[in-house]
Every structure is written in structure tokens, then in C-alpha cells.
Amino acid sequence: MGRASVVLLSIIILIMPSVSFSGDCGDVNNSGTINILDATYLISYLYKGGPEPDCGTTFSGICGDANNSGAVNILDVTYLISYLYKSGPAPDCGTVTDIDGNVYQTIKIGDQVWMAENLKVTHYRNGDSIPNVTNNNTWAYLNTGAYCEYSNNIANVAVYGRLYNWYAVADDRNLAPADWHVASKAEWQTLIDYLGGDDVAGGKLKEAGTTHWVSPNTGATNESGFTALPGGYRNPLGSFTYLGSHALFWTSSPYNTTAALGRSMNNLDSAIYQTYFNNPLGRSVRCIKD
């Protein structure tokens, strides 16, 4: 390549659209930005035996899967070109980040996109703090939003997330990240119906094995990728129970003025149950994309 060609190429690279990222599924050459070179890198990988996509050590999803389809192919190339030159959507890396900076894996199940981890956030979407209430008596008499860690032990958060009362779920400041929300009764039912109904969907939602679930964890296959975890709950009197044996999730749907609907799974069967509990109860939360 002659000097003039090198200069021209350098000018093109300098003026072409580019967006800075760190650990993003579209930055397939790990340059710290997304630009046309990432598209050409993918083409080389797919059709010319070029090196595999490299999104850096901070990215845990499928590098190059810019449209979050579960595979890397020519559609990811066109997705990146549309993003860079046609104001198309940003790369969808199969993750979502809350206001605290917690990053959650996501999973598409049917036509829905769910968090594949329990919520951990300690602030509402607008930045207001959610109170962390550790005292049992205080928890029992709350009528405003609060969260806690199971047994008030922060070591439980990494795996099981945090527990929230329903006042936090219902707060109009929003628990969920932007463009997400706490799933409603109807949205849970859509998920369950897609997976074959209440009698079998629990097994398809539960994390398989007994690393986090108490044996026997009957029917657990996690074939959905939802990875339901047994985070237990905090009862209306403030005490904790069922860690390892029960996954109990709030919905955003009230049951009456003092209770709200939820969904629960246990280690003894493959079913998923509709439940309702008083609003002060502490349960896990899963969010769904708008």
C-alpha cells in the first residue's frame, strides 16, 4: 500500500462514526470504540478465517452477537452498520445495567426479554435511596419501600440478589432500570404458558442442580435460561426463611389493598405457583424489558 493510500485510510478511520465503549458486544476488535472496523473484523471472522471476536475481559456475553440472537452471523454485521450509519438501535449485548452499576445477564424467552438474575439495586431509577431495613420490628410495620439482604448478610447478594417489600415494587420512582419494569401477573403468565403451563414451567425456569437449590430440586432443567434461584423470603414479622428451597418473586400486580400477587417455585416439584402475600413481605424481583 502506497503512502497516499495509507494517509487516505487514516483520514477515513478518523472521520468515520465511532462510539466509545468498554466491554461491549459490538467492540469485536477490543479497541475501546465501535466503528466500521468492527464490522469488517466480523466479516473477516465469518468468511475469511479471521480471528475470533475479542470484546475484552470485562465482557461476559457472546462477543459479536450485536443483536442478541444467541449467535454471531452476518445479521450482526448489518446491525452494526445500521447502528453506525442509519441511527439504528445500539448493540444489544444480552445485559442490562441498573442505576447502581450492577450488570445483569438477560435472556429472550419467546417474545419476552427477562433478567436472568435477581434484582440487587439499592436506589430507585431517579437516584433516591431505597432504605435498607435490618431491624425485624421496623420491617414488620413498614408501609413504605425497603430492601434487605437475606439474614442481613451482604454475602448473599452476589448469588441471590436482594429482597424487597411490595411498597418498593409499587413505588412510582421505579425499581427497574430504564426501559425495564417489574413483571406483571399477565407477563408472568405469558412466560409460563410459553413454557408449557403451571405444572411444568417451574422446572424449566429453575437453575439445574443443587449448587444453590436444596436437593432434590425436582424437575429442574433451566432449559429456558431464566435461572430461577431460591432466594427465600422475609416474612411480615421480619424473620428470614426458605433460602435454598424456595424462589419467591413479586409481580407488579396488587391482590387487594394489603397484599400483592407473586409467583413461587420450590425444590420438591416442577410447578410454578401463583401466590399472594401481605405487602410487607420481602421477596425477590425479576424485571422484564418494556
The contacts of residue 94 (CB under 8 Å, 6+ apart) are 25, 61, 62, 65, 68, 105, 106, 107
Q: Read off the pLDDT of residues 71-110 as tens digits, 9 standing for 90 and up.
A: 899 999 999 999 999 989 888 888 889 999 998 989 889 9
Q: Read off the pLDDT of residues 148-192 as tens digits, 9 standing for 90 and up.
A: 999 999 999 999 999 999 999 999 999 999 999 999 999 999 999
Which residue has 411480615 as its cell numbers?
A: 236
Integer Cα distance of 156 and 243 in angstroms: 10
Integer Cα distance of 248 and 280 in angstroms: 14
Global confidence as pTM = 0.78
Task: Kindly state the percentage of the chain with pLDDT values over 70.
Answer: 91
The mean predicted confidence, pLDDT, of the chain is 91
Longest dimension (CA), the chain: 78
pLDDT at site 9:
42
Q: Residue 96 pairs with which residues in a beta bridge?
A: 104
Q: What is the CA 231 to chain-centroid distance, rounded?
A: 16
Q: What is the dihedral of CA 266, 268, 269, 272, to 10 degrees?
A: -10
pLDDT at site 20:
54
SS3 72: coil
Integer Cα distance of 105 and 84 in angstroms: 24
Task: Kindly state the percentage of the chain with pLDDT values over 90.
Answer: 80
C-alpha cell at 16: 468515520
Integer Cα distance of 164 and 282 in angstroms: 5
Q: How many residues does the chain have?
A: 290
pLDDT at site 15:
44
SS3 142: coil
| Residue 37, pLDDT above cutoff 90 | yes
Which residue has 417474545 as its cell numbers?
A: 111
- Which has more pLDDT, 236 or 184? 184
First CA to last CA across the chain, in angstroms? 49
pLDDT at site 13:
42
Integer Cα distance of 134 and 141 in angstroms: 12
Q: 10-19, 74-83, 276-285 — which is least confidently predicted?
A: 10-19
pLDDT at site 70:
75
Q: 9-13, 16-20, 273-277 — which is least confidently predicted?
A: 9-13
Q: Read off the pLDDT of residues 104-137 as tens digits, 9 standing for 90 and up.
A: 989 889 999 999 999 999 999 999 999 999 999 9
pLDDT at site 109:
92
Over residues 25-47, mean pLDDT: 93
